[in-house]
Structure 1
Amino acid sequence: MAEKDELGRRGEIVAARWLEAAGCVVIERNWRCASGEIDLVLRQGTTTVFAEVKTRTSLAYGHPFEAITRAKQARLRRLAAEWCHENGPVPGEIRIDAVAVIDAWSAEPSVEHLAGVV
């Protein structure tokens, strides 16, 4: 596995643990369809949350949130709709979040969570 892929996978683990500590329940990890992938699908109360996780080793090449372009946001909206279509009626509200993980391999990685950004 490429180092970049390992970093991304580690970031998703860190993000999932952080979100679980914040009261979310992980429903799916790395859900895939022909159109792409959703990193994390979670439930927070009655809200279904679709989370895009971006991981960096440092801020040397910019903040992880900078990688979530308008095109990526549009793709996330389409993927969330596909997930909802595939999984039947989704009760409650739907939200798309972004999670930035910096220094994922350290004992205390930095995690930033933006709720409802897309």
Structure 2
Amino acid sequence: MATESRLELGKRGEQAAVTYLETQGMKVIDRNWRCRYGEIDVIAEEGPILVVVEVKTRSGRSHGTALESVSPAKLAKLRMLAGQWLSAQSRTFDAIRVDVIALECFAGDFALRHVRGAI
């Protein structure tokens, strides 16, 4: 069996994150949204809250954990990107939250950690 490429692992991890969010009652409203300033992996809503989700998938810990790879600067950028996304929308939300879903793949299965309000 061929090893999974980094891109394939990332796509599989992102789908696992979306499936998880939906089982938690969130509605995914956008994926891989891009503008000239960057990208948001997943945009969801949880009731009146807009949830911007950074998904990090790792196949090992040689470069640290998936969660450790999300810096404070990245979280601040996601908050700015959320504002960019909102400016193009006709609806509003009561609050914005930035979450991180960190997935680590061991023997083909994911260990998932969801950090709500990562900022």
Q: TM-score scaled by structure 2?
A: 0.89
Contact 1:46 1:92 in 2 (8 A): yes
Q: 1:71 aligned to 2:73?
A: yes
1:1-118 alignment to 2 at 5 Å? 3-103=5-105, 106=108, 108-118=109-119
Contact 2:48 2:94 in 1 (8 A): yes
Larger RCO, structures 1/2 (Cα 8 Å, 6+ apart):
1
Is the partner of 2:60 in helix, strand or coil? Answer: coil
**Unmatched tracts of structure 2, length 5 or more:** none
Identity of aligned residues (%): 38
Report how far residue 46 of structure 1 moved. Answer: 1.4
Q: TM-score scaled by structure 1?
A: 0.89
Q: Hey, what's the Cα distance between the residues in 1 that align with 2:17 and 2:54?
A: 10
- CA deviations 1:64-86 (Å, max 9, x no partner) are 11111122122111101101111
Report how far residue 90 of structure 1 moved. Answer: 1.6
Q: Per the alignment, do residues 81 and 104 of structure 1 end up closer, same or farther by CA in structure 2, a change over 3 Å counting?
A: farther
Q: Hey, what's the Cα distance between the residues in 1 that align with 2:62 and 2:20?
A: 23
- CA deviations 1:27-75 (Å, max 9, x no partner) are 0110011111000000111111000000001223311111111221221
Code of the aligned partner of 2:10: G
Is the partner of 1:28 in helix, strand or coil? Answer: strand
4+ residue segments displaced more than 4 Å: none
